[in-house]
Amino acid sequence: MSKSRRDRQFRPVAVPDVDVAGFFGKWQDAVCDSTAETLLDRCVEAGMVQAINVDQPSPGVVIPILEWGGSTQMFWDSDLGKSIETIAYSLYRKPNPRLEERADAIIDLYEKLQDQDGYVNAWFQRVQQGRRWTNLRDHHELYCAGHLMEAAVAYFQATGKRKLLDIMCRYADYMIRVFGHGPGQIPGYDGHEEIELALVKLGRVTGETKYLDLSKFFVDERGTEPHFFTDEAERDGRDPKSYIQKTYEYGQAHLPVREQKKVVGHAVRAMYLYSGMADIATEYRDDSLTEALDDLWDDVVTKQMYVTGGIGPAASNEGFTDYYDLPNDTAYAETCASVGLVFWANRMLGRGPNRRYADVMEQALYNGALPGLSIDGKTFFYDNPLESTGKHHRWKWHHCPCCPPNIARLVTSIGSYMYAVADDEIAVHLYGESTVRTKLACGAKVTLRQESGYPWDGAVALTASLTAPVRFALSLRIPEWAVGATLSVNGQILDLSGIVSDGYARIDREWTDGDRVALYLPLSLRPQYANPKVRHDAGRVALMRGPLVYCVEETDNGGDLNAIVMPKSLPQADIAVLRDLNGAVALDITVEREETSAWGVALYRTTPPERTVTKVRLVPYHLWDNRSPGSMLVWLQAEK
């Protein structure tokens, strides 16, 4: 890749600059109609709103303090933050005065809560007043602040109301005074990353580089020696060696970030850190960060990622384990972790379009993150196994309610992941029915209308609306799987080989109002085999169509799904459109199936099961457990 390309800076468009319809429009409607209000209701029920209301007595310790020295109640600000962020996006799509009033009231409470010096935190102002900034390693203090900052930016962009933005700017200004290497300052960073990416959002929306500088400080300090967490523990009278997570890898603080090569520890923390690093790499054109990020990217996508884009197989550390350790039935693969992978991938596009990142962004979005939400927006997956015996179902809520608002805010802000803009270039990273309005550096306003039934259909049409002809590059992702893709401008076929770079077709021309680009991405069914080092997928095959991983469910196919055997050469699939799954495309294929009924009663015998030819129905993995509950399987036995 040429240096010059990397010197461009792509930033996502603001959420209100994209109108989303089609596939993601329905998901956004579900959040607007159900999830957004549900999130707030649950926060109120949990006591989170009382917790920030200085006119009411402090609720005290509602959730007990655990072995690690804290309580998940310490994260309440983050839950409120992510809920307000979701509400903000939903208000843009569907005005809802009652919901807006409720959000405004919470913001008023935060205004009253805010300390004279700018500090805002429900736990350390109302429960453990003396403990401010005493344990950054464990207490999630800056993490909470980060989520409130993201909420502030979203609420400002959606409603034009500045109050929360002003609160969080005051808080960030206070942080600038508190953190640093000067006398009396704290030379530290948070155990749970998040503030880094949030400060970049704050910097971008306010135009204040001081917030970017603070983010860069947190990124640069992380993992350096002498180790801040060790010094901090000693100052606080705690034994640094008795750290419950045992290793600073848990929070990616084991090495300076530029020296990190292996993706380790808590998966969400890792994704948030790398997201912040990528933002800083873009804003500061920092090649040293970009190189470290490329190593980390390779590490996760070639050794530690489920075919769904799920990451972090283990519940014990909510994170990464050994290379190629990808158990299917016990996969943790937290919804939040795939949401985080989407965040990171999106930010890796800051220095130029590249399908190496965007293909995985799409894969994790559709198959790792989206399963976290039911189609009615009312129930939530926390962990996302690739095989279920029928006991895994979405929750109404979760004792650690991080995932519901995380997937909800991603879905409602999806427009800003679809399009990104540099000075003279518009990149289309994701396809789907939508309209984007943006302005180029030259001042020209561009509106692009994208018409597509994607991901069910591979035809995409883009029409430009312009007040006057203008030259810019339009970069369109050609996914690696889209073998045989075609592209035309105003009916004229383009030779992709001449214009595709890093997997994007770059059409650099003078555009005129009404210009129409037609892209066709063949969505043929394709098998996915895992590297033979992944023992859990040995002898098995998964099926994808376009960006979607498919699975078999008991409701369509009966039980004993492991008795299904995919023929060596992939059979032709018949398409069925399922109305009860929002018009999803199901695939009916002819396979072999081991006979469970003819086997008899023995548990073991010397001859293999007999097989008969039969049909099975595959449905998109992200839609599983939306109908009759039952078993589910992604990796099917493959005939050898």
Q: Give the active site residues.
A: 318, 402
DSSP letter assigned to residue 371: G
Q: Is 294 in the site for a second copy (CB under 8 A)?
A: no
Minimum CB–partner distance for residue 406 and a second copy (Å): 24
Q: Which stretch binds a second copy (CB under 8 A): 20-28, 269-277, 322-330, 398-406?
A: 322-330
- Torsion angle of alpha carbons 281, 176, 143, 415, nearest 10°? -50
Q: Which stretch binds a second copy (CB under 8 A): 3-11, 324-332, 461-469, 574-582?
A: 324-332
Q: Which stretch binds a second copy (CB under 8 A): 171-179, 460-468, 536-544, 576-584?
A: 536-544
- Alpha carbon of 127 to those of 51, 52, 79: distances in Å? 9, 10, 17
Cα separation, 51 vs 244, in Å, equals 27
Cα separation, 142 vs 420, in Å, equals 28
From start to end of 291-433, where are the E strands?
A: 387-388, 419-422, 425-428
CA quadruple 438, 440, 441, 443: dihedral sign: negative
Q: Is 355 in the site for a second copy (CB under 8 A)?
A: no
Q: Which of 133, 284, 520, 599 binds a second copy (CB under 8 A)?
A: 599
Give the SS3 label for residue 131.
helix
Q: Is 316 in the site for a second copy (CB under 8 A)?
A: no
**Residues ≥6 apart with Cβ < 8 Å to 338:** 308, 309, 310, 311, 364, 365, 367, 368, 369, 372, 384
Minimum CB–partner distance for residue 242 and a second copy (Å): 19
Residues 619-638 binding a second copy (CB under 8 A) are: 637-638
Rg (CA), the chain: 25
Q: Is 596 in the site for a second copy (CB under 8 A)?
A: yes
Q: Which stretch binds a second copy (CB under 8 A): 11-19, 204-212, 282-290, 589-597?
A: 589-597
Q: Which residues of 24-49 are buried (b: 16+ CB within 10 A; e: fewer)?
A: bbebbbbbbbbbbbbbbebbeebebb
Minimum CB–partner distance for residue 271 and a second copy (Å): 17
Minimum CB–partner distance for residue 294 and a second copy (Å): 13
Give the SS3 label for residue 319.
strand
Q: Which stretch binds a second copy (CB under 8 A): 90-98, 182-190, 498-506, 529-537?
A: 529-537
Q: Is 579 in the site for a second copy (CB under 8 A)?
A: no
Q: Is 562 in the site for a second copy (CB under 8 A)?
A: yes
Give the SS3 label for residue 582.
coil
Q: Which of 278, 305, 336, 521 binds a second copy (CB under 8 A)?
A: 305
Q: Is 613 in the site for a second copy (CB under 8 A)?
A: no
Q: Is 231 in the site for a second copy (CB under 8 A)?
A: no
Minimum CB–partner distance for residue 601 and a second copy (Å): 5
Closest to 130 measured CA to CA, from 208, 236, 57: 236
Q: Which of 144, 563, 616, 623 binds a second copy (CB under 8 A)?
A: 563
Q: Is 584 in the site for a second copy (CB under 8 A)?
A: no
Residues 370-389 binding a second copy (CB under 8 A) are: 387, 389
Cα separation, 76 vs 121, in Å, equals 9
Cα separation, 321 vs 102, in Å, equals 42
Q: Is 439 in the site for a second copy (CB under 8 A)?
A: no
H/E segment holding residue 542 = strand 540-545
Cα separation, 462 vs 305, in Å, equals 32
Q: Which of 527, 558, 571, 629 binds a second copy (CB under 8 A)?
A: 527
Q: Is 473 in the site for a second copy (CB under 8 A)?
A: no
Q: Which of 535, 572, 577, 580 binds a second copy (CB under 8 A)?
A: 535
As a whole number of angstroms, the longest Cα–Cα distance in the chain is 79
Q: Is 534 in the site for a second copy (CB under 8 A)?
A: yes
From start to end of 315-469, where are the E strands?
A: 387-388, 419-422, 425-428, 434-439, 445-452, 459-466
Q: Which of 538, 575, 580, 615 binds a second copy (CB under 8 A)?
A: 538
Minimum CB–partner distance for residue 531 and a second copy (Å): 5
Minimum CB–partner distance for residue 71 and a second copy (Å): 21
- Alpha carbon of 482 to those of 183, 429, 555, 569: distances in Å? 57, 14, 31, 19
Q: Is 606 in the site for a second copy (CB under 8 A)?
A: yes
Q: Tell me which residue has tokens 């549900």.
A: 38
**Residues ≥6 apart with Cβ < 8 Å to 188:** 136, 179, 221, 228, 229, 232
Residues 389-408 binding a second copy (CB under 8 A) are: 389
CB-neighbour burial class of residue 548 (10 A; exposed 0-12, middle 13-18, buried 19+): buried
Q: Which is nearer to a second copy, 395 or 599 (CB)?
A: 599
Q: Is 93 in the site for a second copy (CB under 8 A)?
A: no
Residues 126-155 binding a second copy (CB under 8 A) are: none
Give the SS3 label for residue 518.
strand
* Residue 608: φ, ψ to 5°: -70, 165
Q: Is 571 in the site for a second copy (CB under 8 A)?
A: no
Q: Which stretch binds a second copy (CB under 8 A): 59-67, 270-278, 433-441, 599-607?
A: 599-607
Q: Which of 322, 376, 508, 580 binds a second copy (CB under 8 A)?
A: 322
Q: Which of 227, 560, 578, 614 binds a second copy (CB under 8 A)?
A: 560
Q: Which is nearer to a second copy, 467 or 531 (CB)?
A: 531
Q: Which of 50, 435, 595, 629 binds a second copy (CB under 8 A)?
A: 595
- Alpha carbon of 322 to those of 116, 303, 639: distances in Å? 47, 9, 28
Q: Is 295 in the site for a second copy (CB under 8 A)?
A: no
Cα separation, 191 vs 161, in Å, equals 31
Q: Is 530 in the site for a second copy (CB under 8 A)?
A: yes
Q: Is 161 in the site for a second copy (CB under 8 A)?
A: no
Minimum CB–partner distance for residue 265 and a second copy (Å): 19
Q: Which stretch binds a second copy (CB under 8 A): 264-272, 310-318, 425-433, 561-569?
A: 561-569
Minimum CB–partner distance for residue 554 and a second copy (Å): 12
Minimum CB–partner distance for residue 564 and a second copy (Å): 9
Q: Which of 184, 605, 613, 628 binds a second copy (CB under 8 A)?
A: 605
Cα separation, 286 vs 217, in Å, equals 13
Q: Give the interface with a second copy as residue ranges (CB under 8 A).
A: 298, 301-303, 305, 307, 322, 325, 327, 329-330, 387, 389, 526-535, 538-542, 560-563, 565, 594-596, 599, 601-609, 637-640
